[in-house]
């Protein structure tokens, strides 16, 4: 049995993603209040695996999770892409007529902005978690309160779904990373070769330094699927680059890393894994 640390409660999108990635396996969840706690769990028990959201087609990258990933020393062992759909739910004895507040995570509230604009009678209240809001309302019998969460969470906590698929944009996917203690990621892998990697590096602000690195990637036939620059706080004109690449040959990828190493600073391979091709783009 594998133990998976996630941020959020049972029924959260992290829970759904964990069960999706480890489909058919026996898993036990550790539900954490924060992403920091997910990484802290892995640090204390190297057999624990983490699953963390890293980007969303609407909200963009979770920059803070990139930092946690880089600072934690964990390695990326896999990715999973999940279609995000929200519903609004309340206690079975409540209805549209009696609901006055809606509780959810700020990102979920933001993703349902259009829906909320059409319901000015609902006061939006920020909560720690989507599923956690449903759980709280169910357990504390909060009359007049609604939650925005997954349909699975609503059903799990015995809540009544008032409306389903209330997210503004249906092209709403979140990409999750499976993170593990280096050396332990083997237990997560079948024998298949990797075909994707996440890297982070910085560059001196010399003319064309990024162009040189990308040229070498191109010579080695390593393809970018994501690039994001982040200014390094306090170092004017210096940047961190978070890059995802896909490749056909893991050997070629290793050779390419050797080739770009001297041109970069603080190059770190965050992990090599199999890309999730089940859902389009991210």
Q: Give me the phi and psi of 49, to 5 degrees please.
A: -105, 145
218 binds its own copies (CB under 8 A): yes
| CA atoms of 105 and 169, how far apart (whole Å) | 17
106 binds its own copies (CB under 8 A): yes
Q: For the CB of residue 206, give the shortest distance to its own copies in the complex, in Å.
A: 9
C-beta of 117 vs 191, nearer to its own copies: 117
Q: Return the residues of window 223-242 that contact its own copies according to CB under 8 A.
A: 223-229, 231-238
- Residues 67-95: b if buried by 16+ CB within 10 A, e if exposed: ebbbebebbbbbbbbbebbbbbbbbeebe
**Of the residues 45, 73, 193, 221, which one makes contact with its own copies according to CB under 8 A:** 221
**Of the residues 3, 61, 85, 194, which one makes contact with its own copies according to CB under 8 A:** 61
Strand intervals (E) in 100-213: 101-104, 123-126, 145-149, 160-163, 173-180, 196-203
| CA atoms of 226 and 244, how far apart (whole Å) | 5
- What the block records as the tokens of 6 is 């996630």
C-beta of 34 vs 45, nearer to its own copies: 34
**Residues near 251 by beta carbon (within 8 Å), at least 6 away in sequence:** none
Q: Confirm if 147 and 42 have CB atoms less than 8 A apart.
A: no
Residue 143 DSSP symbol: T
The mark string for 171-210 relative to its own copies (x by CB under 8 A, - otherwise) is x---------------------------------x-xx-x
Q: For the CB of residue 236, give the shortest distance to its own copies in the complex, in Å.
A: 5
Q: Confirm if 31 and 22 have CB atoms less than 8 A apart.
A: no
C-beta of 171 vs 265, nearer to its own copies: 171
**Residues near 169 by beta carbon (within 8 Å), at least 6 away in sequence:** 57, 58, 111
Q: Return the residues of window 13-52 that contact its own copies according to CB under 8 A.
A: none
The mark string for 241-270 relative to its own copies (x by CB under 8 A, - otherwise) is ------------------------------
Q: Return the residues of window 152-171 that contact its own copies according to CB under 8 A.
A: 171
C-beta of 187 vs 224, nearer to its own copies: 224
Residues in the site for its own copies, rule: CB under 8 A? Answer: 57-61, 63, 106, 109-110, 123-126, 171, 205, 207-208, 210-212, 214-215, 217-219, 221, 223-229, 231-238, 280-282
């Amino acid at each position: 049995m594998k133990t998976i640390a996630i941020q959020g409660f049972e029924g959260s999108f992290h829970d759904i993603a964990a069960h999706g990635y480890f489909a058919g396996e026996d898993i036990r969840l550790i539900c954490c209040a924060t992403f920091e706690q997910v990484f802290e769990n892995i640090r204390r028990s190297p057999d624990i695996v983490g699953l963390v959201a890293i980007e969303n087609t609407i909200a963009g990258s979770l920059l803070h999770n990139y930092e946690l990933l880089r600072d934690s020393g964990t390695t990326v062992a896999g990715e999973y892409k999940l279609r995000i759909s929200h519903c609004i739910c309340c206690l079975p004895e409540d209805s549209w007529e009696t609901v006055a507040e809606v509780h959810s995570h700020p990102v979920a509230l933001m993703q349902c902005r259009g829906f909320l604009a059409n319901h000015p009678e609902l006061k939006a209240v920020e909560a720690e978690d989507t599923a956690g809001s449903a759980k709280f309302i169910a357990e504390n019998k909060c009359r007049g309160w609604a939650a925005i969460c997954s349909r699975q969470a609503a059903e799990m906590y015995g809540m009544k779904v008032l409306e389903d698929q209330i997210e503004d944009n249906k092209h709403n996917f979140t990409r999750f990373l499976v993170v593990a203690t280096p050396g332990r990621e083997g237990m997560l892998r079948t024998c298949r070769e990797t075909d994707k990697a996440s890297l982070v590096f910085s560059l001196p602000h010399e003319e064309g330094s990024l162009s040189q690195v990308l040229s070498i990637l191109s010579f080695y036939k390593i393809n970018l699927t994501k690039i994001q620059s982040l200014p390094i706080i306090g170092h004017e004109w210096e940047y961190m680059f978070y890059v995802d690449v896909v490749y056909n040959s893991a050997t070629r990828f290793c050779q390419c890393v050797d080739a770009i190493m001297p041109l970069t600073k603080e190059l770190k391979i965050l992990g090599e894994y199999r890309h999730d091709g089940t859902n389009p783009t991210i």
